[in-house]
Amino acid sequence: MNKEDLTDVFENCPCFRARAAARRITRDYDEAFKSIGIKSTQFTLLAIIKGKEPSSITTMADKLAMERTSLIRTLELMAEKGLITLAEEGYRRERKVQITPKGDAILAKALPLWKQMQASFVSRIGQENWQANKELWLDIAFGD
C-alpha cells in the first residue's frame, strides 16, 4: 500500500464521491425542511405516497432503491408523527401506506420549500450539468 493508491481513492472512487455528494445534498434539503419538522427522506416519501400511490411497501422500496427494512423504520417514524397510516400486513405480508390529512398539510408546506431548494441546487451546479446528469444518477441506482 502506497500513498499513490490511497490518493486514487479520493480522486477516482465513485463510492466516495457519490456518498460525499449525497451527504451535502441531504444536508441542504434537510435544512430547507427544518422549519416544518421533516427531513428530506420524509418529504420524498410523502411525495411518492401522495403522487404515485404505491401498492405496497415492497413496491415503494424497489422504486426508491432502498432496503425494505430501512424503509419500514422510516415509515413507522412517520406514522408515529401522524403523517401516514400503515395498514396491517395482508396477502404476502404486503402493507399499504396512506398519507393522512396532517401529512397532506405538511406536504403542501414542503413543496414550495423543495422548489426553492431545487432552484438553488440547479443554480449551484448549472442547468446544463443537471440536465446532463440527472438520468445518469437513476441509471446508476437502478441499472444492472
91 pLDDT above the threshold of 80:
no
Mean pLDDT confidence for 98-106: 97
Domain ranges of the chain: 3-142
* Local confidence band at 102 (pLDDT 50, 70, 90 cut-offs): very high
- 3-state secondary structure (DSSP) of residue 45: helix
DSSP string, 5-20: HHHHHHHH-HHHHHHH
Confidence label for 125 from pLDDT (cuts 50, 70 and 90) = very high
**Structural fold of domain 3-142:** Arc Repressor Mutant, subunit A (1.10.10)
The torsion defined by the Cα of 120, 23, 54 and 47, in degrees rounded to 10, comes to -30
144 has pLDDT over 80: no
C-alpha cell at 93: 405480508
How far apart, in whole angstroms, are the C-alpha atoms of residue 37 and residue 31? 10
Residues 33-88 pLDDT 10s: 999 999 999 999 999 999 988 888 888 999 899 999 999 999 999 999 999 999 87
Residue 64, classed as helix, strand or coil, is helix
pLDDT of residue 90: 60
pLDDT for 58 equals: 87
| pLDDT over 70, % of the chain | 96
Which CA distances in Å does 87 have to 45, 93, 101?
A: 16, 11, 16
The full length of the chain comes to 144
